[in-house]
Amino acid sequence: MMVKITPPDCIIEHYLREKTINAVIDTLENIAFMEIIPSKLVTPYDEALACLSAEILINTPFSGKLRLVLSKALVKQLVLNSYPSEGIEIREGQFVFEDINRNQIPEDTLEDSLREIVNIVTGRLMTDLIPDNQSYEIGLPEISADAFLGFEGASLCIEFFAEGHPFWLMLFGDGFINSPIINPKQ
C-alpha cells in the first residue's frame, strides 16, 4: 500500500522540506556526482532490501535527530563514485580499491562512508536552517543497529532516488517544526 505524504500546508514544513532536499542533493551530487531526485511519495519499505541506516543527533539549539537509510548497493555505488579506481595504492594495508572487480568493499568502509554522508548532510541542513550568527551542535554519526525503515514519529520523511535506488531521510524532533529559531525566509 502506497503511503502518500501530502504536500504540507504549513509554510515552515514546506521550508524545511525544501532545505532538506537541497542539503541532500548538494551533498551527494558533490560527493558522488549522482543525480538525486526527490519524490513526493514514500513507497513501502522492502524488507528484502539490505539497507544501512545512519543517525545523528541535533543537540543545540534544539533536540532532534536525522536518519538516513540507504540500500547497501547504493552506499557501495556512492563510495565507488567518490574515489577513482585508478592509481589507488595500498598504504598500510588499509585500502581496498585496488581490487580489480571493485566488489569487495568492506562493510566498515560502507558504514564509515555513510557516517560521513549523514554528517555532511546534517551540517549543511543545520547551516541552512539556523541563522548565520547562531551556533549549533550536532552529535557523532552512528550506524543504527536496526536498518528497518521506521519513520513513525518523524517530523518529516522524504524519499529520494539515485540511479534508480530509493533512499530515505527522516527528521525527528519537534524542534525542526516548532523551534522559533528556524524562520522561513519569504
Whether the Cβ atoms of residue 117 and residue 27 lie closer than 8 Å to each other: yes
C-alpha cell at 172: 525527528
- Asked if 158 is part of the footprint of other proteins (rule: CB under 8 A), the reply reads no
Computed from CA positions of residues 86, 87, 93, 95, in that sequence, does the dihedral angle turn out positive or negative? negative
Residue with cell 519569504: 186
The residue (of 133 and 186) whose beta carbon lies closer to other proteins is: 133
Q: Which of 120, 147, 149, 158 touches other proteins (CB under 8 A)?
A: 120
Whether the Cβ atoms of residue 118 and residue 20 lie closer than 8 Å to each other: no
Q: What is d(CA 18, CA 9) in angstroms, rounded to the nearest whole number?
A: 13
Q: Which of 9, 92, 146, 152 touches other proteins (CB under 8 A)?
A: 92
- Asked if 68 is part of the footprint of other proteins (rule: CB under 8 A), the reply reads no
Q: Which of 16, 51, 69, 130 touches other proteins (CB under 8 A)?
A: 130
- Which residues form the interface with other proteins (CB under 8 A)? 27, 30-31, 79, 82-84, 89, 91-92, 94-95, 109, 112-113, 115-116, 119-120, 122-124, 126-127, 130, 132-140
